[in-house]
Amino acid sequence: MNYFQTIRDAAILLALLIVPAVFLRANLRDPSELSWLDRALLQVSGPVQYVAEWAADGVTSIVEDYVYLLDVKSDNDHLRAENDRLQREMRVLRSDVQRVRELESLLGLRERMATETMTARVIAKDISPSFRVVRLAIDQGEQARVHAGMPVVANQGLVGQIRRVSGRFADVLLTIDPESRVDVVVGERRARGRLEGLGERGRYRCRIQFDRMDDRVAVGDEVFTSGLGKKFPASILIGTISKVGDQELGLHQEGEVTPAVDFTRLDEVLILTSGPKDPDAL
Amino acid sequence: MRGARASIIIVSVVFAIVLLQSVFSSLLAPHPFSPYFGLPFVFALGTAPGTRVLRGAVTAFAIGYFYDFFTGNPLGLHTFVFVVGYFSAWLIGYLLSFRGIVFEMVLTFVLTVLLGGLLELIRGFTPGGIARSGGTLTIALFASAFATALLAPILFALVRGVDPESERAPT
C-alpha cells in the first residue's frame, strides 16, 4: 500500500465518521437555528431519505401483507365457524320470536275471552298419510282439572274440544273430526246450523247443515259458534263457507266449511275452563 | 471483489433481519430484551483480522444507514453510532489477541451498553425526542445488550461464513 492510498483510506474513514455526525448535527438542531450549511445538508439528505424510506416502506408492507395472508386462512376458518354459530343462534331466535308472537296472540285472545282459560302446549299430533293433523294431544290434564268437553281455541278460532283426559295429558277432538258437533251461526243473517267434521284425511273440511232451507248463505261467509247449549261460548270463529249445496235438493240446505285454524301449525292453545261469565260480552 | 460481495451480503442479511424484526416485533424484540441485531455484525467485522478497515467501516456505515430508516430516527444517528462502534471494535481487536465465544459475548455486551448509552445521549438532544427515566433506560440498555450478547456468537459465525476472508491474517 503506497503513501497516497493510505492517505485516501484515512480520508474516507474520517469522512465516514464525520458525514453522519454532520448530518446528525443538522437534523438535531432547532429549525430556527439552522445555518446555511445545515439547510444545505438537509436539502441534500431530504430527497435521499424520502426515496430510501419509500423503498423501505414498500418492502415492509409487502412482507407484512404476506405475513397477514398467512393468517387469512385461520381467520377465515374462525369466521366461518363463528358464522355457523350465529346462523344457528339466529334460527333459534327466529323460532323464539315466532313462539313469542303466538303467545302474545294467545294472550290477546285470552283477554278477549270472557271466560276462564288455561294455556296448553301441543305435545303430539297424529298425522294422516296426506300430512293432515287428525288428532292433537296437549300437556294439561287431570292435575289442571281439565275434563272432557271443554272447548279448545287458538288465536285463529275454534280448535275443538277435550275428548278425554289421561293423567297429565289430554286428547283434543278437532272440529274436523266426524264425531265433532257444534251449533253455529253463519254470516250477517245469523243463519243457524250444525257443524260436523268430515274426517277427510286429505284436507281440513267440515259440513254444515242449516236449520232452514231458505237461509241465504254464500261462499266466504264466516261461521261462528252460536253459544247454544252453553257448551261453546258464542261468537268464536270456526271458519268460512267454502261451498254451498244446491238449495233445490234435499230436506236441508248444506254447505262446506274450511276451518280458520291451521291445525298443522298449532303449538299453543287455550282451554276454556268455565262457561262464559258474561255471554253478551263476547 | 470478494470482500465487496461479502459486505453486500452482510448488509442484505442485516436488512432482512431488521425487516423481520420490525414485522415480528413481538417475537424477535420482546421488551426490554430486544436485541440490536446490527451491532454484532459490525463488531465481527471490526475484530476480524482479514477485513480491510475501509471496507468494514463502509459496511458499518451502510448497516447504520438502514437502521436509521427502519427505526425512524434522525438521519445519521445509527450511521454515526455504528461507525463509532466499528472503530471501537477494531481498536479492541487490534489491542487484544484474545478471541473466542466468551470474547465475542463480552465485547458485544460492553460495546452495546456503551453505544446504546451514546444513542440515548444523542437522542436526548433531539427536539421532541423521547426522554426516558434513568432506571428505565438502564434496564432497557442492559437487557438489550444481554440479548444481543447471547446472539453474538451466532452472528459472528454468520459473518465468518459469509466472509471467509475476514479470518485470514492480513498480508
B57 chain-A contacts, CB cut-off 8 A? 12-13, 16-17
- Which among B57, B69, B122 has the least Cβ separation from residue A56? B69
Interior angle at CA A267, CA A262 and CA A272, nearest 5: 85
pLDDT at residue A145 in the model? 87
Confidence band of A172 (pLDDT split at 50, 70, 90): very high
Contact between A269 and A157 (Cβ < 8 Å): no
Contact A63 B77 (CB under 8 A): no
pLDDT at residue B163 in the model? 80
Question: A116-281 has which fold?
Answer: Thrombin, subunit H (2.40.10)
A67 chain-B contacts, CB cut-off 8 A? 23-24
pLDDT digits (tens, 9 = 90+) for A113-145: 777 888 898 988 888 777 778 888 999 888 888
Q: Which residue has the higher pLDDT, A131 or A268?
A: A268
| pLDDT higher than threshold 50 for residue A195 | yes
Using a pLDDT cut of 90, give the percent of chain B over it.
17
| pLDDT higher than threshold 90 for residue A238 | yes
Contact A20 B127 (CB under 8 A): no
A28 chain-B contacts, CB cut-off 8 A? 74, 122, 125-127
DSSP secondary structure letter of residue B17: H
Average pLDDT over residues A18-36: 74
pLDDT at residue A68 in the model? 66
B18 in reach of chain A (CB within 8 A): no
pLDDT at residue A152 in the model? 93
pLDDT at residue A171 in the model? 92
Contact A17 B84 (CB under 8 A): yes
Contact between B79 and A20 (Cβ < 8 Å): yes
CA dihedral over A261, A262, A263, A265, signed as positive or negative: negative
Per-residue pLDDT of chain B (171 residues; tens, 9 = 90+): 667 788 888 888 888 887 777 666 656 666 777 888 889 999 998 888 878 888 888 899 888 887 877 766 777 888 889 999 999 999 998 888 778 889 999 999 999 999 988 888 887 776 655 556 677 788 888 998 999 999 899 999 988 888 877 666 554
- Which among B22, B53, B76 has the least Cβ separation from residue A21? B76
Chain B, nearest residue to A51 by Cα? B69
B87 in reach of chain A (CB within 8 A): yes
Out of A36-45, A70-79, A107-116, A149-158, which region has the weakest mean confidence (pLDDT)? A36-45
Helix (H, G, I), strand (E, B) or coil at B100: coil
Query: Pairing relation of β-strands A206-210 and A117-127?
Result: unpaired
Distance from CA of B123 to the nearest CA of A (A): 9
User: Which candidate in B22, B27, B28, B80 is best for mutational testing of the A interface (most A CBs within 10 A)?
Assistant: B80
At A122, list the grid cell. Answer: 301441543
DSSP for chain A reads --HHHHHHHHHHHHHHHHHHHHHHHHHHS-GGG--HHHHHHHHHHHHHHHHHHHHHHHHHHHHHHHHHHHHHHHHHHHHHHHHHHHHHHHHHHHHHHHHHHHHHHHHHHHHH-SS-EEEEEEEEEEE-TTS-EEEEEES--GGGT--TT-EEE-SSSEEEEEEEEETTEEEEEETTSTT-EEEEEETTTTEEEEEEE---SSS--EEEEES-TT----TT-EEEE--GGGSS-TT-EEEEEEEE--TTSSSS-EEEEEESS-GGG--EEEEE-S--S-GGG-
| pLDDT higher than threshold 50 for residue A189 | yes
A16 chain-B contacts, CB cut-off 8 A? 57-58, 60-61, 83
B80 chain-A contacts, CB cut-off 8 A? 17, 20-21, 24
Helix (H) or strand (E) holding B150: helix B134-162
Average pLDDT over residues A244-263: 80
Task: Report residue A175: phi and psi, to 5°.
Answer: -65, -20
How far is residue A34 from each of residues A25, A29, A37, A139, B162, measured CA to CA in Å? 10, 7, 8, 92, 43
| pLDDT higher than threshold 90 for residue A223 | yes
pLDDT digits (tens, 9 = 90+) for A60-78: 677 667 766 777 778 888 8
- Which among A17, A22, A25 has the least Cβ separation from residue B83? A17
pLDDT at residue B106 in the model? 93
Chain A, nearest residue to B25 by Cα? A64
Helix (H, G, I), strand (E, B) or coil at B50: coil
Average pLDDT over residues A222-249: 84
B119 in reach of chain A (CB within 8 A): no
Angle of the B38-47 helix axis to the B101-124 helix axis, nearest 10: 120
- CB pairs < 8 Å spanning A and B: 71
Contact B127 A67 (CB under 8 A): no
- How far does chain A reach from its first CA to its final CA, in angstroms? 121
The residues, any chain, with a CB within 8 Å of residue A98's CB and separated by 6 or more, are none
- Which among B57, B66, B77 has the least Cβ separation from residue A13? B57
Residue A215: Cβ within 10 Å count: 16
Contact A24 B80 (CB under 8 A): yes
B19 in reach of chain A (CB within 8 A): yes
- Average pLDDT for chain A: 81
pLDDT at residue A280 in the model? 42
The span from the CA of A218 to the CA of B94, in Å, is 119
- The interface predicted TM-score (ipTM) is 0.73
A65 chain-B contacts, CB cut-off 8 A? none
pLDDT at residue A278 in the model? 41
